[in-house]
Structures are given as C-alpha cells and as structure tokens.
Amino acid sequence: MTIVTRFAPSPTGNLHVGNVRAALHNWLLAKHHGGRFLLRIDDTDAERSREEYVHAIRADLAWLGIVPDGEERQSQRFDIYEEAFARLADAGRVYPCWETPQELELKRKVLLGRGLPPVYDRAALQIPEVERMRRIAEGDMPHWRFLLDRDAPISWEDGIRGPQKFDPAQMSDPVVRRADRSWLYMLPSVIDDVAMGVTDVLRGEDHVSNTATQVQMFEALGAPLPRFAHEALLTGAEGKLSKRLGSLGIAHFREIGIEPAALVSLLARLGTSDPIDTSLDAEALAAAFDLSHFGRAPARFDEAELERVNAAIVHALAYDAVADRLPEGMDASAWEAVRPNLSHVHEAADWWQVVTGPIAPMSFSDEDRAYLAQAAQVADENWGEDPWHALTGALKASTGRKGKALFLPLRQALTGMDHGPDMATLLPLIGRDRALERLKLA
C-alpha cells in the first residue's frame, strides 16, 4: 500500500513554525516510505480565506524545499461534501438543530453547575419530522450535528501516543454544518481524507479529541481508518510557546537571514530523541524519520538554537551556493576567508566592506603608533605570498612583542576591528596598497 500523507492549512494567515513542522514531518514520513505527500488548502471559510495566503503557503513550502506530490482545494470540492452529507442524512447520522448560541450556553452552565460534563442533550432529536420539515420549508434553517454512536468506546492505536480510548457518552455530537450551509472543519476533512486516499494522519496533539470524533465519521462513511499519530506541541525556550513566536511567519526567518536548511534541520528533529545533524540533507532526514523516536514531552523551539544551527549551515556552504547573494567582486577566496565568522550569509557584506574599505580608524597609544609606523615600513619591504606571517615574524624579531601586543594593534589598524577572520587569509584580500595606507594612517 502506498503511504499518503497530507498537510491541510487554512489560508487565513501565514504559516508559522508549528505549521511548518507539521508539513515537514508529513513530507518526511511520506518520503521515508516512498509514498506521496499532498497539500490540501482548507479554504471552506470564504469570509476569512485569502488568496494571498494561498500563494504564501506555496512559496513558504517551496523555499523550504518541501514539494507536494499533489494539491487540492476544499472550495472546489463542495459537490463531494454534499454527496457524502446526503448519505449520512439518509442513514440518520446527521440531524438538524435550532438552538441558539445563547440557549446552548445556558444548557452548558446548568450542567456544569450540577457537576456534570457539558454534553449536548440531543434535544433536537425529539423534534418530530413533520415539524422539522415545516421549519425548513419556512426558511428557518438549522445547523447540523453528527450523531455519535454511544454504544461502544472509540479507540485507536496512536503512532506516538500509543493506545487511545474515548467514551462517546462524554462527548457532544459535533456541529458539522452551519445554518448558512457553510462547513465546519470536521466532516469535510474526513471526506477529503477518504477521497484523497490518505493513509496516515500526522498532526498536533491538540487534534486528539477531533480524531476521536472523526474515527466515527470514517466508519459512518464506510471508509477504512487511516493511521493516526499526534505529536507534542511546540513550546518556546521559556516554556509556553509565546504569541510572538507562534505568530511569526516564515517570511520573518527569511528576512533575518535564516537558511531554509537550518529550519529543516532543526524542525525535523524537534520532539524526537535524535540529535540535530546539519550535515543531513532531506533524503537522509527522511531515511532516518521514525515515529517511534517521538516523545510525549513538549517539543522546545529555541530561536538561539536555530541561530546556532544556521551558523553551522552557513559554515558549510560552498561559494557556488551563495555567489548570487554576495557583494559584487567577492570571489571564492574571500568567501572562504570570512565564512567561519558568519552567522548569516548577508553578514559577508560587512566583512567585504572591511576588505575594500573605507574603515573607521581607531585610536592608539603613542607606543602603538610608533609600532604601526614600523609595521608599515616592514610590510612595504616584506610583502609576498604570505604577507601576514612575514609581517608578524619580522616585527616579533625586531620589537620583541608577542601575543596580543604583537597581533591586536595590527588587526585594529588593518580592519578597524578587534576580532574577525584569520588575518593570514584576510590580509592578501585587503592587498598591499590598502594595507600600507591603513598602517600609515594609524
């Protein structure tokens, strides 16, 4: 059997890290088994769905290298929902209701006040069929609920959480359709999973109670159950995932210079017992993807950890992979010289400015100014293939300086910085003329 997974975002906003993690894990699960990964745009909410978010979802997935094997849009599948809904109505598994939100809230408060679970009392089932038909004919349109079978427990073997069991007597019949005939999430999702041949539903643990209801929907439609797995939700470094982090779109990470491979490397392993390995590409990550490695504890997303992973990714990037993002004139040797000091590719421009100038001069003591004047003369006389070691070697012998006293004034005069790339690789890039000018100016 071909494994089929899906990612089903609603285009009511931008993807955030939690969404992307779900998409990535479904993609890796499908790739691990040589299966198919589908994108389903859940745009039944016409009022809140926006086409620009659909384009953004596709662009974000493409930037991360996540390529769906197919795409569906719920807004184009209403005929399929109508047909399935009619079958469920004929079988008595959906029924009309007319309670207002205020009436339902009052019932809920009464039950809670009695110490009882706030389960819908199914009062609408007591309305005679003739009365139902009359109200509908007069334009008093109902909302519709799915009738749960309360005779047996709902159970499944969860791919991450293990055996799951729910008592349907403690659950309300879910509303699946509004009075304006629009759809809620629960039923169309099941109908689509059946029609699209989805075999594995991997999603966040906040959907566990939804799954309990949807298990019966699959059964009512006469469809086999997919395998379900619910992974722990993301938390921030401080514990609960902050609203700021939870709302950060993928565009934010692009803008601050995060490499897509860094997000993939980190998110692929969050929630598992596997270490983050920046050397692994998508194929290797998919080959090692295993639901048994996921734990029940919350998965911690730390932006500082993302920055560390990003730096490791950048340090391994070849010149050809970044050439189109580097400043004009910066060649492979310059990239390799500054790369170990970068956390983001765009920072290469700052170091290229150090190479090409101008730089802000620093202040020196009288003793260091005399030392730098001597350095200018030595550099002028000893410039060769390895000017840095020739310069420092000659100065060490003539001045007796060593360590920080030998190297730091030179770095400061030549770069305007206290730290940076290895001067042995940086000084040839600065070049003889600029180096002499900077030493003399200092």
Write out the binding residues for ATP.
243
Question: Which string of DSSP letters, residue by residue, matches 89-101?
Answer: HHTT-EEEE---H
What span, in angstroms and rounded, lies between the C-alpha atoms of 401 and 190? 76
User: Rg of the chain over CA atoms, in angstroms?
Assistant: 32
Residue 303 burial class via C-beta count within 10 angstroms: exposed 0-12, middle 13-18, buried 19 and up: middle
Could you give the 3-state DSSP secondary structure of residue 330?
Answer: coil
* Nearest-10 Cα torsion for 153, 156, 158, 162: 60
Element of type H or E holding 191: helix 186-195
SS3 content of the chain, % helix, strand, coil (to 5): 55, 10, 35
What span, in angstroms and rounded, lies between the C-alpha atoms of 2 and 322? 37
Residue type for 101, please? Answer: P
Q: Where are the beta strands (DSSP E) in 86-199?
A: 94-97, 143-146, 154-158, 162-166, 175-177
- The encoded tokens of residue 364 equal 């020196």
What span, in angstroms and rounded, lies between the C-alpha atoms of 123 and 176? 17
Which residue shows structure tokens 């620009």? 52
Could you give the 3-state DSSP secondary structure of residue 29?
Answer: helix
DSSP 297: S
Please provide the distance, in angstroms rounded to a whole number, between the alpha carbons at the two ends of the chain.
73
Question: Which residue numbers belong to the known binding site?
Answer: 243
Residue 96 burial class via C-beta count within 10 angstroms: exposed 0-12, middle 13-18, buried 19 and up: buried
What span, in angstroms and rounded, lies between the C-alpha atoms of 325 and 346? 7
